[in-house]
Amino acid sequence: MENYLLKPDERIDDLHRNQYLIIQNSKKFCFGMDAVLLSGFAKVKPGESVIDLGTGTGIIPILLEAKTEGGHFTGLEIQEESADMALRSVKLNHLENKINIVTGDIKEASKLFGLSSFHVVTCNPPYMTNNHGLMNPDMPKAIARHEIKCSLEDVVRETAKLLKSGGRFYMVHRPFRLAEIFGVLLSYKLEPKRMKMVHPFIDKEPNMVLIEAVKGGNSRITVEAPLIVYKEQNVYTDEIYDIYGY
Please spell the DSSP secondary structure of 120-167, one letter per residue.
EEEE----B-TTSSPPPSSHHHHHHHBTTS--HHHHHHHHHHHEEEEE
Strand partners, 169: 121, 213
pLDDT digits (tens, 9 = 90+) for 36-86: 999 999 999 999 999 999 999 999 999 999 999 999 999 999 999 999 999
pLDDT score, position 119: 98
pLDDT score, position 148: 57
- Can you tell me the mean pLDDT for 179-184? 97
The answer to whether the CB of 49 falls within 8 A of the CB of 75 is no
pLDDT digits (tens, 9 = 90+) for 196-239: 999 999 999 999 999 999 999 999 999 999 999 999 999 999 99
Domain at 2-244, CATH homologous superfamily: Vaccinia Virus protein VP39 (3.40.50.150)
- Can you tell me the mean pLDDT for 87-105? 97
Distance CA 203, CA 185 (A): 30
- Can you tell me the mean pLDDT for 189-195? 98
Domain coordinates in residue numbering, the chain: 2-244
CA-based diameter of the chain, in Å?
52
Nearest Cα to Cα of residue 173 among 215, 123, 223, 129: 123
Choose between 3 and 149: higher pLDDT.
149
* 73 CB-contact burial (10 Å; exposed 0-12 / middle 13-18 / buried 19+): buried
Nearest Cα to Cα of residue 206 among 197, 194, 216, 215: 197
Q: For 22-26, 66-70, 189-193, which range has the lowest pLDDT when averaged over its residues? A: 22-26
pLDDT digits (tens, 9 = 90+) for 109-147: 999 999 999 999 999 998 766 554 444 455 555 444 545
pLDDT score, position 38: 97
pLDDT score, position 26: 84
Distance CA 13, CA 158 (A): 31
- Can you tell me the mean pLDDT for 10-15? 94
Strand partners, 243: none
- Can you tell me the mean pLDDT for 82-105? 97
